[in-house]
A and B are shown apart, each in its own frame.
Chain A
Amino acid sequence: MIKLLYFARFRDALDCAGEQLPLPAHIDDIAGLVAYLGERGKPWRETLGGARVLVAINQEVADFDAPVKEGDEVAFFPPVTGG
């Protein structure tokens, strides 16, 4: 299983704050995970396939070619706007 989290406008668009997902054997990086989640439908494809999508693996910002493994916490979120 991996833990998925969605923040801010992504959570609103997907109507999902987080989930536990059995990691399919053929998925080994973020890009593969995004493609897999995109199979759920248009909001998923548009939200996670957009131009300004940030991803963190185990609470550290990562690239889309970063590896994903069993037990990881993967978060998707838009550019930050604090301060």
Chain B
Amino acid sequence: MAESIMKESTMKENTDIIRVQTSDFDLAAEYRALRAASAQTGAIVTFTGLVRDFNQGDQVAAMTLEHYPGMTEKVLADIVARARQRWRLQAVGVVHRVGALAPGEQIVFVGSASAHRGDAFAACEFIMDFLKTRAPFWKKERTGSGERWVDERQSDGEAAQRWQS
């Protein structure tokens, strides 16, 4: 009981949640945390990324996600801080999984809470675009012909570029 009260008060001081974990996440729980952060919130936008079963013409049987512990968390915190400078946000949540993942599994969650939907939509997309091009995660796929590291996508770089203007 005391522990849950402590957790809640900690969350209210710093409403941002940034986690890198092997375990799955519960979308409803992440949404609840964003919703509980502030009574000023009028809009919450959430994004969930999943493992596709098909990539570059091949059936994907499994995926492993590697990251750079320490730097990953710093980069994610920096991206969230930049989003906070651009938009008025009540709370932000970023959860990224690492380790072995099967097709259909959840990889990433980004949620943004704001007074109005415009800021919440924009911030959520901004955070995802920069996460994809800046945060040190790497995907390795297993297909019928063996294992391979996933190549960067040019479209991801372009998606991040458009926020520079």
Chain A residues with a Cβ under 8 A of chain B: 5, 7-9, 12, 52, 56, 59-61, 75, 77-83
Known: A7-B136, A80-B152. A59 touches B65 (CB 8 A): no
Rounded to whole angstroms, the CA-CA distance of A12 and B140 in the bound complex is: 11
Rounded to whole angstroms, the CA-CA distance of A61 and B71 in the bound complex is: 9
A8 contacts B107, CB within 8 Å?
Answer: no
CB distance from A70 to the nearest CB of B (A): 20
* Residues of chain B at interface, number, CB under 8 A: 28
Rounded to whole angstroms, the CA-CA distance of A35 and B149 in the bound complex is: 25
Find B138's partner among A52, A56, A61, A80 (CB 8 Å cutoff): A80
**Nearest 10 interchain pairs by C-beta:** A82-B137, A8-B138, A79-B152, A59-B71, A83-B132, A9-B149, A81-B150, A81-B139, A83-B131, A83-B108
Q: At the interface, yes or no: B134 with Cβ under 8 Å from chain A?
A: yes
Q: At the interface, yes or no: B104 with Cβ under 8 Å from chain A?
A: no
**B65 (CB) vs chain A CBs: closest residue:** A82
A83 contacts B137, CB within 8 Å?
Answer: yes
Find A8's partner among B74, B108, B133, B140 (CB 8 Å cutoff): B140
Rounded to whole angstroms, the CA-CA distance of A18 and B128 in the bound complex is: 29
How would you classify the secondary structure of chain B's contact residues: helix, strand, loop or mixed? mixed
Q: Within 8 Å CB of A60, what residues of B?
A: 71, 74
Known: A80-B134, A80-B136, A82-B135. A5 touches B149 (CB 8 A): no
Chain B residues with a Cβ under 8 A of chain A: 49, 65-68, 70-71, 74, 96, 107-108, 128, 131-140, 149-153, 156
Rounded to whole angstroms, the CA-CA distance of A8 and B149 in the bound complex is: 7
**B133 (CB) vs chain A CBs: closest residue:** A80
B138 contacts A81, CB within 8 Å?
Answer: yes
A83 contacts B107, CB within 8 Å?
Answer: yes
Find B96's partner among A59, A61, A75, A82 (CB 8 Å cutoff): A82
Known: A9-B149, A82-B96, A82-B139. A77 touches B68 (CB 8 A): yes
Rounded to whole angstroms, the CA-CA distance of A42 and B108 in the bound complex is: 37
B67 contacts A75, CB within 8 Å?
Answer: no
Q: Within 8 Å CB of A61, what residues of B?
A: 134
